[in-house]
Amino acid sequence: MRRSFLFVMLPLLVFVMGIPSQESSSRAAMTPIIGTATKTGWWIKVRTDRTEATSIDFQIGTKREDRESWRAWHSSDPTEFDVPDKYLKVAHLYIQATANPQGKKAWLCIMYEDHGVQHIDTDNSNEQDKNQTDSDGDCN
């Protein structure tokens, strides 16, 4: 009886343990790699000297209506990072940044290649629709 129980339970256990690893790998594929910005398209620069927030949640798209949750930046993360590959070279970019906790200031710049496009200075949430050719001197 014990052996038949093991023969039934062992494959079931292997199957059940395999499910989380598959889910984890699909989640990992959706999570952007955090590192130094390549600066070959759109990227973000967080100014830690002007940021009190401990994290910033980002949504991204080409317009407000097609935005998606992107990532959260934390104060221990690199301060410059690329947007996801599918948005790296788009002509028009939508970004929403939400400072956490609310009431603490977040200060960052939306960048395109070698120039600042728009700075965001918020203690709540701020959204921007920008073109590659827009410019904001506060970011340079």
- Report which of 86, 38, 36, 34 is spatially closest to residue 60, judged by C-alpha positions: 86
Checking if the pLDDT of 6 tops 80, the result is no
What pLDDT band is residue 140 in, cutting at 50, 70 and 90?
Answer: confident
Find the angle CA(94)-CA(81)-CA(87) to the nearest 5 degrees.
35
Looking at residue 86, the DSSP 8-state letter turns out to be G
Q: What is the pTM of this model?
A: 0.75
pLDDT of residue 34: 57
β-pairing, 55-61 vs 42-46, is unpaired
Q: Among the residues of the chain, which ranges form H helices?
A: 2-30
User: According to the model, what pLDDT value does residue 36 have?
Assistant: 81
pLDDT computed for residue 3 by the predictor? 52
Q: What is the mean pLDDT of residues 89-106?
A: 97
Q: What is the pLDDT of residue 1?
A: 52
